[in-house]
Amino acid sequence: MMRLARNLLITCCILAGLALSAGFFLFVQGLDRNEKAAAARVDGIVALTGGAERIADAVDLLARGRGERLLITGVNEKTTKEEIARQRPEFRAYFACCVDLDYQALNTIGNAEQTRNWARRHNFRRLLIVTSTYHMPRTLAELGHAMPEAQFLPHPVVTEKLDLASWWREPGMVKLLALEYVKFVAAVTRIQLGVRDEDMGSARADRPAAVSALR
């Protein structure tokens, strides 16, 4: 009986490992198929911090008239709007009128919560989401959970370090994608189980002040 139970446990572990591995490869393949939303106008643009390319793309989209306002969420509490504006000095005027910074979010859950608050404050229901390609699935899952009434259009940003055509050749890239896959599975599982977002420490008030706002 003990041997049967042990063999059953081993079999279950092997099957679980195979399922996770297959899911990981499907996850990465899905990233390679991510496409930017068509050039339709939206109510607002949301950029999640984590890379200069995200902010640059988001400001460019705002300047091209894709949305009324831009929210940059998850900004480090020591970073000012002026410092961000220096990245794109030609668009400095937009920072004065149409860019909002969120200093509260500490993670993707917090990004979704602060986006919800910002969107409802401005009565926005159609949002263009700007974040890295590998971060987009988890971002959309969290946003859909926080704002089921809204529509989200993805604008994935492909960074120079991310080569989806040969990611398996770079150990650092394998680690990055594997970690993001685990986070994505955990997020979807948490949402399905109905775990309260408040328990996850998603806003600055939930953590010590020394913690950075960037993921």
Domain residue spans of the chain: 44-206
Query: How far is the CA of 170 from the CAs of 51, 63, 133, 136, in angstroms?
Result: 20, 36, 17, 21
Res. 210 pLDDT band, cuts 50 70 90? very low
Predicted model pTM = 0.80
Q: Please state, in angstroms and rounded to a whole number, the distance separating the CA atoms of residues 119 and 132.
A: 21
Q: What is the pLDDT of residues 145-163, one digit of tens each?
A: 999 999 999 999 877 566 6
Q: Which CATH class is domain 44-206?
A: alpha beta
User: Mean pLDDT throughout 35-43?
Assistant: 76
User: CA nearest 109: which of 47, 191, 43?
Assistant: 191
Q: Please state, in angstroms and rounded to a whole number, the distance separating the CA atoms of residues 190 and 196.
A: 8
pLDDT of 77 higher than 50: yes
